[in-house]
Structure 1
């Protein structure tokens, strides 16, 4: 589907340009007229400039209304820009060319020299937001609209009208050249921006690869540690059992003491082995899938923390990247553990939304809250969660205050691959 959204930075700039244009139109509307044949000044309202100013005021007020401003898309903006250009041309061209008298208004000269400037403003916006085709359409439209009054009211043998028409054609060509240059510069900037974003994505992937390599090295270390611990424990148990067998009939009391030490060593070795196995086994996401893994995680945390829980997950079983699955699962896990340890919450809500451009994860509890600034500096778990999210190009927002509920919102962009 074609994206018709506009850059929101356009609207404030457009408002200021309209304000300037209204100012010049009002100056033109109330400026004195000089009667060439009678060599005198007369004050009269220029109705075309005044009406044009009123139209622009209406447009300006409309742009200040949030409900209207939010509905402006590319088609509406293009019509608005053509309207602004039309008002600029007509306010300059109709008077005095269509006047029956020989009046000449000094104020209209002020609008004449700035006409090209006000034609440049819509041109810049069109080159910024649209294709080269719209830029050329705009220049052709301006040229035809500029020539039209001279074709209707001008005299073919009048040298002034011929020169004016030629000047308008030259101005249209100039606008076209400048519009083409502007569009090429904007297109180059967009291309560079896309290349930069692609480089950032590659960099994030390299960082994730490095993280996975570090995890693999850590797993190997744990495997060696488990091997050494288990082998040492079993060897110790074997030696102690041999001693118990030798002492069992002759020195039962001493054999009992050795047996007790053997039990202690065995339990310690079992604990160490279990810890290593937990670190080595595959993640719950790989075993059950993301949705079921989150449900199991929340159920387990609710049983340990004694709180009510609510889980809202997408209905579809869309396959996500391993990095995104891992990030979402670890973020939920860290948030639940922090809630159990620190918040004293009575209920926790976990929601995952599958949106067109990103994934949004929200974890909210009704606990005692905290100061996010202090946690950001001191809590390693939150810091690790934030770093993991930012590696994927996402954002993490914590909304919490002491003695109030806590809401954690994570947004992760979709992968382009």
Structure 2
């Protein structure tokens, strides 16, 4: 009996798109790493007081009960990360509307894997902290998320020849579990909910959606100029979310879901508003927004070797480390295996389970959103606040090293396969292996 294949090789267009994203994220990952290292150095140097003073300095204003007076650190976490999540929402929508994952059968595996990759680390953290310090269980969602920028940057360095279906799997999984994490923030980390501001936000959201779909016909402007109209509405939506009690970054995801993915432009399918926004805002996100957030969030005063050891011995850091490093692998690979068994399916012959184990290890790089949840879980004066961040940084490093150990040998194998396939490319430049499986797809 013929068995369904999961994670089969995608179309050539999707292969090129993933290659482009990985190339862009590599540079952003290096900038993010540099910002993190600089923050740690400053936080543990004679300049620590100046560093924390800048982070905690306030900018902004209040108008009655409308609050826009935030510390610089909060501007980075609540404001700049909205750009990050806007791009995450765009990427997810493009995957499910025009990407290879528009097929429910193909989308099921990474979505279920993402859910498993969120649930198992949270359960592990909860079990470890059940008898931990009072309030420790408040950080149960810290190991839930995967950092897109770091994970894809490491993947770009380690897995340049891994099958595009596997790399799409990690990309989609990272986006989905970040969105699950932000929903967790909205549901479990929302305090003082103010429904009036949330209701008011529906007005700019509706206008944003209308203009995103009709700006070209209503105002005779190009996609490239549409952001002049949309950006003010986005800022207003963000400010209303901030004052509603719902974490402001969720505004980025909501607005992204209103952006049209299918092109109405005369210039062809590569000129949709979603792709235009992705092209324009990705450098801003990966080059400025996320690194600045990391700079102000990753700076933890560990207090030397003894302080670092004390943090590692805490149940909070231990729960984060075990959750991210072990829980991600168990949750992602276990969920994928369960789906294949229930659907009586097999992995594509080009892919091995060890490839998925390596990808799941990289998913343990839970940097950006994990740091964000750490800040929401514990007060800055609480020792568990710093312990959680030490756990995130440690787990991310261990996960990257573990992923390298697994994926480097796999990448060498696929490099040799790619070398043989390149000799079979047609005159149109599309390798025969893509043409044979989907002859109607062209770049």
- The structure with the greater share of residues assigned to strand is 1
Same-fold call, TM cutoff 0.5:
no
Structure number with larger C-alpha Rg: 1
Give the structure, 1 or 2, with the largest relative contact order (CA under 8 Å, sep 6 or more).
Answer: 2
- What TM-score do the two structures reach when normalised by structure 1? 0.23
